[in-house]
Amino acid sequence: MRIATWNVNSVNARLPTVLEWIQAANPDVACFQEIKCVDEKFPREAFEDLGYNVETHGQKSYNGVALLSKYPMSDVRRGLPGDDTDEQARYLEALIEAPRPIRVASIYLPNGNPLGTEKFPYKLAWFQRLQNHARELLALEEPLALCGDYNVIPEAEDARNPAAWTDDALFQPESREAFRALKWLGLADSHELGREPAGTFTFWDYQAGAWQRDHGIRIDFALLSPQAADRFRAIETHRDARDMEKPSDHVPVVVDLDLEA
DNA sequence: ATGGTAGACCTTCTA
């Protein structure tokens, strides 16, 4: 079972690149973030032609998440529970009906910048809701993968230049604490399971030559329940995707699980 | 050096 997560930064602006990548990587499940379109404008047929079932939770212009799966999906949940007034499309979850099923979520956590605005408390409140929901999912004691762009730099080694992020919402103590609290519910970070080296980044800003200077950060994660972590086989961070034609500012993270074991 | 780039889309907001 190969599960990929990728913030594509507009699926329509980048469709040829996304299609080229997904055919080469051939994941069974793909979690996309920042599709930046409503459900009706998601290029569903292009992925169906490659053998994927498609679920989307989109919105106009901003945010939006999708799940692609070669297996049927059920139990689809659109939106994170806990606040009926939240209109931002950042959470999509489904049960992947493989021979050994696994529940997978595509997550786009709020960025939270700039500090001093309502955006940062929104981020922290969203994180708390995610923690509450993750607690309920973990109680099911089944294979589970919470994948996506968490918009958090957990540790200094997850940034090439940590000092540059001191005043950024992604590196605030409150953001990092919320990420740790989520993990400490009993989730394993695939990056740690795979012993990827420090400097394995997933995002480089388009500005100021960040990619050319390798001024990256690691903010995209695949967090696994114990029942999934037991079956972890490998992780691959697709750094090369940052050099593709019209690249996203994020690169895909791909996790292989041996669900037959 | 408070810049720089990218996407949606109407003019500025988000990242």
The pLDDT tens digits of the residues spanning A44-58 come to 999 999 999 999 999
A7 touches strand B (CB under 7 A): no
Q: Which residues of A185-214 are buried (b: 16+ CB within 10 A; e: fewer)?
A: ebbbbbbebbebeeebbbbbeeeeebbeee
- Residue A260 has a pLDDT of 82
Q: Which of A198, A204, A191 is nearest to A232 (CA)?
A: A191
**Residue A80's Cα: distance from chain center in Å?**
14
> Residues 66-95 of A near strand B (Cβ < 7 Å)?
none
Q: Which nucleotide is nearest to A88 (CA to C1')?
A: B14
Distance of CA A210 to the CA centre of its chain: 21
Residue A238: C-alpha distances to residues A50, A98, A104, A203, A252 (Å): 20, 25, 20, 11, 5
Which pTM value belongs to this model?
A: 0.97
Q: What is the mean pLDDT of residues A248-256?
A: 98
Over range A177-201, report the average pLDDT. Answer: 98
CA of A10 to C1' of B7 (A): 7
Cα–Cα distance, A170 to A178 (Å, whole number) = 11
Please confirm, yes or no, whether A230 is among the known catalytic residues: no
- Distance between CA atoms of residues A176 and A155, nearest Å: 8
| Distance separating alpha carbons of residues A134 and A124, to the nearest angstrom | 15
Residue A84 designated active-site: no
A261 pLDDT above the threshold of 90: no
Measure A167 CA to B13 C1' (Å). 21
- Position A52 scores a pLDDT of 98
The whole-angstrom separation of Cα A34 and Cα A57 is: 10
pLDDT digits (tens, 9 = 90+) for A61-92: 999 999 999 999 999 999 999 999 999 999 99
The answer to whether residue A189 scores a pLDDT higher than 80 is yes
Among the residues of A43-117, which ranges form H helices?
Answer: 44-48
**Which bases of strand B sit closer than 7 A to a protein CB?**
4-9, 14-15
The tens digit of pLDDT for each residue in A95-129 reads 999 999 999 999 999 999 999 999 999 999 999 99
Is the C-beta atom of A123 closer than 7 angstroms to strand B?
A: no
The Cα A246–Cα A228 span in angstroms is 34
Average pLDDT, chain A: 97
